[in-house]
Amino acid sequence: MDAQELRDLQAPMKAAYREQPDKALITLRAEGRLGENVSCSVATGRALVEAGLHPATGGNGLQACSGDMLLEALVACAGVTLNAVATALALPLRGATVRAEGDLDFRGTLGVDKTAPVGFRSVRLSFDLDGDLSEEQAVQLQKLTERYCVVYQTLRNPPQFAVSFA
């Protein structure tokens, strides 16, 4: 897909969202069902993923770890966003490798140490770019990728949460 094809694809949506901002408000959903051996099966739209305990909390490593899935979602979103920005700006980008890594202290999630945080202490996102970009183009690509990546922005600026049990 080139820049013009992307603009043509998105133009009707952008126009509709400008004219009727409420059309741009969409609720995404995910659902899972509890399974055997401390697992939860989640339908991803493409496959059924069975998530379970990380080996550092007693898992056997055969099921997906939700922490890994969070980082994978970040990589996927950042990669798609990077690609869309490079395409829209017709930047000379041939490819890229996107990596995310995060540090966890499992004492928190296991309740071993009440002062240890539950969740990632830090997350690092990196891009290895393959292309003939100038320094200015690379800076612009990074800035716009960060700005428009939904998962990155959600992690950087946490949304309001509501939790309910029925």
In a domain, 92, yes or no: yes
Quick check: 29 pLDDT over 90? no
With 0-12 CB in 10 A as exposed, 13-18 as middle and 19+ as buried, what is 148?
Answer: middle
Lowest mean pLDDT among 1-15, 21-35, 42-56, 59-73: 21-35
Q: What is the pTM of this model?
A: 0.87
The structural domain count of the chain equals: 1
pLDDT of residue 46: 78
In a domain, 22, yes or no: no
Q: Is 105 helix (H, G, I), strand (E, B) or coil?
A: coil
Angle in degrees, CA 104, 108, 110, rounded to 5: 110
Q: What is the rounded distance in angstroms from the CA atom of residue 75 to the CA atom of residue 152?
A: 9
**CATH code of residue 106:** 3.30.300.20
pLDDT tens per residue across span 87-123: 999 999 999 999 999 999 999 989 999 999 999 999 9
In a domain, 113, yes or no: yes
